[in-house]
Amino acid sequence: MSFYRNIVWFLKGIHEYTRRGYEQAAKHFVPKELDVAVVGRSFMITGANSGIGKATAMAIAKRGGTVHMVCRNKERAEKAREDIVRETGNTEVYFHCLDLSETHKVWEFAESFKMQYPSLNVLINNAGCMMNKREVNDHGLERSFATNTLGVYILTQSLIPLLQKSRDPRVITVTSAGMLVQKLQPADLQSEKGPFDGTMVYAQNKRQQVVLTEQWAKSHPAIHFSVMHPGWADTPAVSTSMPQFHQMMGERLRSAEQGADTVVWLALTRAAGKTRSGRFFQDRQPVPAHLPLAWTHSTPEDVRFFMTQLETLAQDAKKPHTDKLPSFDPTY
Protein backbone atom coordinates (compact mmCIF):
# COMPACT_ATOMS: atom_id res chain seq x y z
CA MET A 1 0.00 0.00 0.00
CA SER A 2 2.84 2.41 0.80
CA PHE A 3 4.39 1.76 -2.63
CA TYR A 4 1.02 2.36 -4.32
CA ARG A 5 0.47 5.60 -2.44
CA ASN A 6 3.92 6.93 -3.32
CA ILE A 7 3.62 6.09 -7.02
CA VAL A 8 0.14 7.62 -7.37
CA TRP A 9 1.23 10.69 -5.39
CA PHE A 10 4.36 11.29 -7.49
CA LEU A 11 2.51 10.93 -10.81
CA LYS A 12 -0.16 13.30 -9.53
CA GLY A 13 2.56 15.72 -8.44
CA ILE A 14 4.31 15.77 -11.82
CA HIS A 15 0.99 16.63 -13.44
CA GLU A 16 -0.41 19.08 -10.86
CA TYR A 17 2.18 20.35 -8.35
CA THR A 18 4.83 21.74 -10.72
CA ARG A 19 5.11 25.18 -12.30
CA ARG A 20 3.34 23.81 -15.37
CA GLY A 21 0.55 22.50 -13.15
CA TYR A 22 0.09 25.96 -11.67
CA GLU A 23 0.05 27.59 -15.10
CA GLN A 24 -2.65 25.18 -16.26
CA ALA A 25 -4.75 25.81 -13.15
CA ALA A 26 -4.28 29.59 -13.41
CA LYS A 27 -6.13 29.63 -16.73
CA HIS A 28 -9.32 29.18 -14.70
CA PHE A 29 -8.58 31.79 -12.02
CA VAL A 30 -10.75 34.91 -11.73
CA PRO A 31 -8.12 37.70 -11.51
CA LYS A 32 -10.53 40.35 -10.19
CA GLU A 33 -11.13 38.27 -7.04
CA LEU A 34 -7.81 39.53 -5.71
CA ASP A 35 -8.55 43.16 -6.59
CA VAL A 36 -9.25 43.93 -2.95
CA ALA A 37 -8.05 46.37 -0.32
CA VAL A 38 -7.76 45.10 3.24
CA VAL A 39 -6.81 48.27 5.12
CA GLY A 40 -7.79 47.83 8.76
CA ARG A 41 -7.66 44.03 8.69
CA SER A 42 -4.90 42.24 10.56
CA PHE A 43 -3.04 39.09 9.50
CA MET A 44 -0.64 36.91 11.46
CA ILE A 45 1.77 34.84 9.37
CA THR A 46 4.18 32.37 10.92
CA GLY A 47 7.44 31.72 9.09
CA ALA A 48 7.07 34.98 7.19
CA ASN A 49 10.75 35.78 6.65
CA SER A 50 11.24 33.74 3.46
CA GLY A 51 9.60 31.58 0.81
CA ILE A 52 5.83 31.23 0.79
CA GLY A 53 5.44 33.10 4.09
CA LYS A 54 7.28 36.16 2.85
CA ALA A 55 5.47 36.10 -0.50
CA THR A 56 2.16 35.96 1.37
CA ALA A 57 3.15 38.84 3.67
CA MET A 58 4.21 40.89 0.66
CA ALA A 59 0.90 40.33 -1.15
CA ILE A 60 -1.16 41.26 1.90
CA ALA A 61 0.94 44.34 2.68
CA LYS A 62 0.53 45.55 -0.92
CA ARG A 63 -3.23 45.56 -0.34
CA GLY A 64 -2.95 47.58 2.88
CA GLY A 65 -3.33 44.85 5.48
CA THR A 66 -1.64 44.97 8.87
CA VAL A 67 0.88 42.14 8.93
CA HIS A 68 2.24 40.40 12.03
CA MET A 69 5.29 38.36 11.07
CA VAL A 70 5.99 35.54 13.54
CA CYS A 71 9.49 34.16 12.99
CA ARG A 72 12.21 32.48 15.02
CA ASN A 73 15.24 34.16 13.39
CA LYS A 74 15.40 37.83 14.41
CA GLU A 75 18.01 38.94 11.87
CA ARG A 76 16.34 37.35 8.85
CA ALA A 77 12.89 38.48 9.93
CA GLU A 78 13.95 42.10 10.34
CA LYS A 79 15.58 42.03 6.90
CA ALA A 80 12.38 40.56 5.41
CA ARG A 81 10.30 43.21 7.13
CA GLU A 82 12.49 45.95 5.66
CA ASP A 83 12.05 44.43 2.20
CA ILE A 84 8.27 44.28 2.58
CA VAL A 85 7.96 47.86 3.86
CA ARG A 86 10.26 49.16 1.13
CA GLU A 87 8.46 47.38 -1.72
CA THR A 88 4.89 48.01 -0.54
CA GLY A 89 5.14 51.36 1.24
CA ASN A 90 3.07 49.80 4.05
CA THR A 91 4.61 50.47 7.46
CA GLU A 92 1.98 48.41 9.32
CA VAL A 93 4.27 45.38 9.31
CA TYR A 94 5.41 44.02 12.68
CA PHE A 95 7.85 41.31 13.71
CA HIS A 96 7.37 38.95 16.65
CA CYS A 97 10.15 36.54 17.61
CA LEU A 98 8.93 33.00 18.37
CA ASP A 99 10.17 29.47 17.85
CA LEU A 100 7.06 27.29 17.47
CA SER A 101 8.95 24.21 18.62
CA GLU A 102 9.28 25.76 22.11
CA THR A 103 5.67 25.08 22.96
CA HIS A 104 5.63 26.79 26.36
CA LYS A 105 6.71 30.00 24.64
CA VAL A 106 3.84 29.69 22.15
CA TRP A 107 1.36 29.93 25.03
CA GLU A 108 3.18 32.97 26.42
CA PHE A 109 3.29 34.70 23.04
CA ALA A 110 -0.40 34.12 22.29
CA GLU A 111 -1.52 35.39 25.69
CA SER A 112 0.67 38.48 25.34
CA PHE A 113 -0.61 39.13 21.80
CA LYS A 114 -4.24 38.99 22.97
CA MET A 115 -3.51 41.57 25.65
CA GLN A 116 -1.74 43.90 23.23
CA TYR A 117 -4.00 43.75 20.16
CA PRO A 118 -7.81 44.08 20.04
CA SER A 119 -8.42 41.91 16.99
CA LEU A 120 -6.98 39.41 14.54
CA ASN A 121 -8.82 38.72 11.32
CA VAL A 122 -6.66 36.02 9.76
CA LEU A 123 -4.15 33.54 11.18
CA ILE A 124 -1.88 31.86 8.61
CA ASN A 125 -0.03 28.84 10.00
CA ASN A 126 2.84 28.65 7.53
CA ALA A 127 5.97 27.87 9.55
CA GLY A 128 7.20 24.30 9.53
CA CYS A 129 10.29 22.15 9.75
CA MET A 130 11.66 18.85 8.49
CA MET A 131 14.27 17.21 10.70
CA ASN A 132 16.97 14.89 9.37
CA LYS A 133 17.32 13.18 12.75
CA ARG A 134 15.15 12.88 15.83
CA GLU A 135 15.56 15.78 18.27
CA VAL A 136 13.49 16.85 21.27
CA ASN A 137 12.66 20.22 22.79
CA ASP A 138 12.97 21.13 26.46
CA HIS A 139 9.67 19.37 27.22
CA GLY A 140 10.96 16.16 25.66
CA LEU A 141 8.75 16.54 22.58
CA GLU A 142 10.03 15.46 19.18
CA ARG A 143 10.85 18.76 17.52
CA SER A 144 9.13 18.39 14.13
CA PHE A 145 5.87 17.33 15.84
CA ALA A 146 6.26 20.21 18.30
CA THR A 147 6.65 22.71 15.44
CA ASN A 148 4.32 21.38 12.77
CA THR A 149 1.48 20.09 14.91
CA LEU A 150 1.50 20.97 18.61
CA GLY A 151 2.83 24.50 18.11
CA VAL A 152 0.17 25.12 15.45
CA TYR A 153 -2.48 23.66 17.75
CA ILE A 154 -1.48 25.80 20.73
CA LEU A 155 -1.19 29.02 18.73
CA THR A 156 -4.52 28.52 17.00
CA GLN A 157 -6.42 27.40 20.10
CA SER A 158 -5.04 30.33 22.07
CA LEU A 159 -6.01 32.88 19.43
CA ILE A 160 -9.50 31.55 18.70
CA PRO A 161 -11.15 33.93 21.25
CA LEU A 162 -9.46 36.90 19.55
CA LEU A 163 -10.43 35.65 16.09
CA GLN A 164 -14.03 35.18 17.21
CA LYS A 165 -14.20 38.87 18.22
CA SER A 166 -12.98 39.95 14.77
CA ARG A 167 -14.81 40.46 11.50
CA ASP A 168 -14.77 37.61 8.97
CA PRO A 169 -12.17 35.53 10.86
CA ARG A 170 -10.16 32.89 9.02
CA VAL A 171 -7.45 30.35 9.83
CA ILE A 172 -5.34 28.99 6.98
CA THR A 173 -2.76 26.26 7.47
CA VAL A 174 -0.09 25.60 4.85
CA THR A 175 0.31 21.84 4.58
CA SER A 176 1.91 19.51 2.03
CA ALA A 177 0.43 17.01 -0.40
CA GLY A 178 2.96 14.61 1.05
CA MET A 179 0.27 14.00 3.67
CA LEU A 180 -1.67 12.09 1.00
CA VAL A 181 0.65 9.10 1.48
CA GLN A 182 0.01 9.04 5.24
CA LYS A 183 -2.81 7.78 7.43
CA LEU A 184 -3.15 9.39 10.86
CA GLN A 185 -1.06 7.43 13.38
CA PRO A 186 -2.11 8.72 16.82
CA ALA A 187 -0.28 6.00 18.73
CA ASP A 188 3.17 7.32 17.76
CA LEU A 189 3.05 11.12 17.72
CA GLN A 190 6.62 11.31 19.01
CA SER A 191 8.06 9.08 16.23
CA GLU A 192 9.57 6.72 18.78
CA LYS A 193 8.75 3.46 17.01
CA GLY A 194 11.17 2.25 14.36
CA PRO A 195 13.85 4.25 12.53
CA PHE A 196 13.34 8.01 12.19
CA ASP A 197 12.50 9.05 8.61
CA GLY A 198 12.29 12.84 8.55
CA THR A 199 10.35 12.99 5.27
CA MET A 200 7.68 10.56 6.47
CA VAL A 201 7.46 12.23 9.89
CA TYR A 202 6.88 15.56 8.13
CA ALA A 203 4.18 13.99 5.94
CA GLN A 204 2.51 12.52 9.05
CA ASN A 205 2.58 15.96 10.72
CA LYS A 206 0.91 17.39 7.64
CA ARG A 207 -1.82 14.74 7.77
CA GLN A 208 -2.31 15.77 11.39
CA GLN A 209 -2.80 19.38 10.25
CA VAL A 210 -5.55 18.30 7.86
CA VAL A 211 -7.34 16.38 10.61
CA LEU A 212 -6.96 19.36 12.94
CA THR A 213 -8.51 21.71 10.38
CA GLU A 214 -11.48 19.40 9.92
CA GLN A 215 -12.04 19.24 13.68
CA TRP A 216 -11.67 22.99 14.20
CA ALA A 217 -14.23 23.63 11.48
CA LYS A 218 -16.74 21.48 13.36
CA SER A 219 -16.02 23.04 16.76
CA HIS A 220 -15.86 26.71 15.74
CA PRO A 221 -18.42 27.48 13.00
CA ALA A 222 -17.96 31.25 13.37
CA ILE A 223 -14.40 30.96 11.96
CA HIS A 224 -13.55 29.81 8.44
CA PHE A 225 -10.82 27.15 8.56
CA SER A 226 -8.92 25.83 5.57
CA VAL A 227 -5.74 23.94 4.80
CA MET A 228 -3.86 24.18 1.51
CA HIS A 229 -1.07 22.64 -0.53
CA PRO A 230 1.19 25.19 -2.26
CA GLY A 231 2.53 22.74 -4.82
CA TRP A 232 6.21 22.01 -5.26
CA ALA A 233 7.74 25.45 -4.81
CA ASP A 234 11.33 26.64 -5.01
CA THR A 235 11.85 27.90 -1.47
CA PRO A 236 14.80 27.94 0.94
CA ALA A 237 13.04 25.31 3.06
CA VAL A 238 12.80 22.88 0.14
CA SER A 239 16.38 23.43 -1.01
CA THR A 240 17.68 22.91 2.55
CA SER A 241 15.48 20.01 3.67
CA MET A 242 15.21 18.16 0.35
CA PRO A 243 18.32 19.02 -1.69
CA GLN A 244 18.12 15.98 -3.99
CA PHE A 245 14.46 16.65 -4.81
CA HIS A 246 15.22 20.34 -5.33
CA GLN A 247 18.04 19.54 -7.75
CA MET A 248 16.01 16.91 -9.61
CA MET A 249 12.98 19.16 -10.15
CA GLY A 250 14.99 22.31 -11.01
CA GLU A 251 13.02 24.73 -13.15
CA ARG A 252 9.87 22.63 -12.85
CA LEU A 253 9.41 23.97 -9.31
CA ARG A 254 6.93 26.78 -8.78
CA SER A 255 8.04 30.21 -7.65
CA ALA A 256 7.36 31.20 -4.05
CA GLU A 257 4.69 33.61 -5.31
CA GLN A 258 2.93 30.81 -7.21
CA GLY A 259 3.11 28.64 -4.09
CA ALA A 260 1.60 31.46 -2.02
CA ASP A 261 -1.21 32.23 -4.46
CA THR A 262 -3.85 30.05 -2.82
CA VAL A 263 -2.89 31.23 0.67
CA VAL A 264 -3.45 34.82 -0.43
CA TRP A 265 -6.71 33.88 -2.17
CA LEU A 266 -7.98 32.09 0.94
CA ALA A 267 -6.97 34.98 3.18
CA LEU A 268 -8.38 37.86 1.14
CA THR A 269 -11.24 36.95 -1.16
CA ARG A 270 -14.97 36.82 -0.63
CA ALA A 271 -15.11 33.75 -2.84
CA ALA A 272 -12.91 31.79 -0.43
CA GLY A 273 -15.03 32.83 2.53
CA LYS A 274 -18.11 31.35 0.87
CA THR A 275 -16.60 27.87 0.60
CA ARG A 276 -17.34 25.23 3.23
CA SER A 277 -15.05 25.45 6.24
CA GLY A 278 -12.55 22.66 6.88
CA ARG A 279 -11.64 21.90 3.27
CA PHE A 280 -8.26 21.06 1.69
CA PHE A 281 -7.33 23.43 -1.17
CA GLN A 282 -5.00 23.33 -4.14
CA ASP A 283 -4.78 26.12 -6.72
CA ARG A 284 -7.87 27.93 -5.41
CA GLN A 285 -10.03 24.79 -5.52
CA PRO A 286 -11.16 22.40 -2.78
CA VAL A 287 -9.75 18.96 -3.57
CA PRO A 288 -9.95 15.52 -1.91
CA ALA A 289 -7.74 15.04 1.15
CA HIS A 290 -7.19 11.37 0.27
CA LEU A 291 -5.87 9.49 -2.75
CA PRO A 292 -8.31 7.01 -4.31
CA LEU A 293 -8.14 3.50 -2.83
CA ALA A 294 -5.27 4.53 -0.51
CA TRP A 295 -6.98 3.63 2.79
CA THR A 296 -5.86 6.80 4.58
CA HIS A 297 -9.18 7.84 6.15
CA SER A 298 -9.13 8.12 9.95
CA THR A 299 -11.53 6.30 12.23
CA PRO A 300 -13.52 8.38 14.74
CA GLU A 301 -11.58 6.62 17.51
CA ASP A 302 -8.24 7.64 15.96
CA VAL A 303 -9.36 11.25 15.71
CA ARG A 304 -10.65 11.38 19.29
CA PHE A 305 -7.45 9.85 20.64
CA PHE A 306 -5.35 12.27 18.59
CA MET A 307 -7.27 15.33 19.79
CA THR A 308 -7.17 14.16 23.41
CA GLN A 309 -3.41 13.77 23.27
CA LEU A 310 -2.94 17.20 21.73
CA GLU A 311 -4.97 18.90 24.43
CA THR A 312 -3.13 17.05 27.20
CA LEU A 313 0.29 17.85 25.70
CA ALA A 314 -0.74 21.47 25.16
CA GLN A 315 -1.78 21.86 28.78
CA ASP A 316 1.45 20.17 29.90
CA ALA A 317 3.43 22.70 27.84
CA LYS A 318 2.22 25.44 30.20
CA LYS A 319 4.06 23.84 33.09
CA PRO A 320 7.80 23.96 33.91
CA HIS A 321 9.44 21.32 31.73
CA THR A 322 10.31 17.87 32.99
CA ASP A 323 11.87 14.85 31.33
CA LYS A 324 8.66 12.86 31.66
CA LEU A 325 5.87 13.23 29.11
CA PRO A 326 2.22 12.30 29.75
CA SER A 327 1.61 8.65 29.00
CA PHE A 328 -1.17 7.41 26.73
CA ASP A 329 -2.67 3.97 26.25
CA PRO A 330 -2.02 3.16 22.56
CA THR A 331 -4.91 0.69 22.59
CA TYR A 332 -7.44 3.41 23.45
From 227, 109, 251, 120, select the one nearest 175 (Cα to Cα). Answer: 227
Q: How far apart are CA 332 and CA 251, in angstroms?
A: 47
Q: Would strands 279-282 and 285-286 be described as parallel, antiparallel, or unpaired?
A: antiparallel
> Which residues, other chains included, contact 221 with Cβ-Cβ below 8 Å and sequence gap of 6+?
277
From 259, 172, 169, select the one nearest 220 (Cα to Cα). Answer: 169
> 244: burial class by Cβ within 10 Å (0-12, 13-18, 19+)?
exposed
Q: How far apart are CA 2 and CA 181, in angstroms?
A: 7
Q: How far apart are CA 99 and CA 96, in angstroms?
A: 10
Q: How far apart are CA 13 and CA 7, in angstroms?
A: 10
Q: How far apart are CA 217 and CA 289, in angstroms?
A: 15
Evaluate the CA torsion angle 132, 136, 142, 145 in order and state its sign: negative
Catalytic residue among 4, 94, 202, 332: 202
Is residue 56 within 8 A of residue 45, CB to CB? The reply is yes
Is residue 22 annotated as part of the catalytic site, yes or no? no
H-helix or E-strand spanning residue 177: none
Q: How far apart are CA 207 and CA 291, in angstroms?
A: 12
How far apart, in Å, are the Cα atoms of 186 and each of 31, 46, 153, 202, 226? 41, 25, 15, 14, 22
How far apart, in Å, are the Cα atoms of 147 and each of 42, 284, 289? 23, 26, 22
Active site amino acids: 202
